Amino acid sequence: MLGLGRFGGSMALELIRQGWEVIGVDADPTVVQTYADQLTHAAVANTTDEVALRQLGVHEMAHAVVGIGTDLEVGILTTGLLADLGIPNIWAKAVNRQHARILERVGAHHVVLPEHEMGERVAHLVTGHILNFIEFEDDYAIVKTRAPEETFDKTLADAALRSKHGITVVSIKRPGEGFTYATADTVVYTGDILIVAGKTRHVEAFANLS
């Protein structure tokens, strides 16, 4: 993890929680000290210094994340250096789409725009119809929403939601119970929560029925 700001630091800790070994690198000694006892290894270094990164063994890593967002130039130079070192999977944080394009050009395999993506996600949640929203590539999304009235007391086969609305109910949750896989014979009742998948515009329209 190159850059231990809010994004890089929180991601590093989550990777540790999942059981991964994480080397954290930052130019700020105070920041590094904060994570020294929580990561596999934390070091103070200039992330644009090839010699320093090689000494840390970064060139041997299969995955690298550039979480530097405040200094765009450093983030870009760091990403380019990782590409030169032959890191097979480089993830980089961008602050806007222009920054993202530059990161891709210098060698990032995956670029994330946390603020932009979170803004889009929250925009889907503020109306209250969508309880959770995840959008993938090719205009495909999965949403968590309340079951609309037209589905009450029907099996999913009888409700024919795929033919009517172009969506598929993946999972269902009864009040007070956990989520279970949905089948054609699953009956939907008042108060049920559905996990629905399909084209973004279709799942949005379906959620607005609730």
pLDDT band with cut points at 50, 70 and 90 for residue 120: confident
Q: Residue 123 has what pLDDT?
A: 78
pLDDT band with cut points at 50, 70 and 90 for residue 116: confident
Length of the chain in terms of residues written: 210
CB 197 within 8 A of CB 181: no
Express each pLDDT in 186-199 by its tens digit.
Answer: 999 999 999 999 99
Q: Residue 152 has what pLDDT?
A: 97
Express each pLDDT in 153-205 by its tens digit.
Answer: 999 999 999 999 999 999 999 999 999 999 999 999 999 999 999 999 999 99
Secondary structure (3-state) at 170: strand
Q: Residue 34 has what pLDDT?
A: 94
126 CB neighbour count, 10 Å cutoff: 8
Domain with CATH 3.30.70.1450 in the chain: 119-207
CATH number, domain 119-207: 3.30.70.1450
The whole-angstrom separation of Cα 138 and Cα 132 is: 19
82 CB neighbour count, 10 Å cutoff: 28
Q: Output the six-digit token pair for 21.
A: 């070994």
- What is the average pLDDT across 80-104? 95
Secondary structure (3-state) at 161: helix
Q: Is CATH 1.20.1250.20 what the domain over 6-112 is classified as, yes or no?
A: no
Of 76, 85, 29, 83, nearest in space to 53 by CA: 85
pLDDT band with cut points at 50, 70 and 90 for residue 114: confident
Q: Residue 119 has what pLDDT?
A: 80
Angle formed at CA 114 by CA 143 and CA 62, multiple of 5 degrees: 100
Q: Residue 35 has what pLDDT?
A: 95
Q: Is the pLDDT of residue 129 over 90?
A: no
Q: Residue 92 has what pLDDT?
A: 96
Domain with CATH 3.40.50.720 in the chain: 6-112
CA distances from 131 to 51, 134, 143, 205 (A): 48, 11, 7, 14
Q: Which long-range contacts (CB under 8 A, 24 or more apart) does 87-91 make?
A: 87/58, 87/59, 87/61, 87/62, 87/63, 88/62, 88/63, 89/62, 89/63, 89/64, 90/64, 90/65, 90/66, 91/63, 91/64, 91/65, 91/66
Q: Output the six-digit token pair for 124.
A: 């889907």
Q: Which long-range contacts (CB under 8 A, 24 or more apart) does 25-34 make?
A: 25/1, 25/53, 25/56, 25/58, 26/2, 28/4, 31/4, 31/5, 32/4, 34/4, 34/9
CB 74 within 8 A of CB 47: yes
Q: Residue 205 has what pLDDT?
A: 93
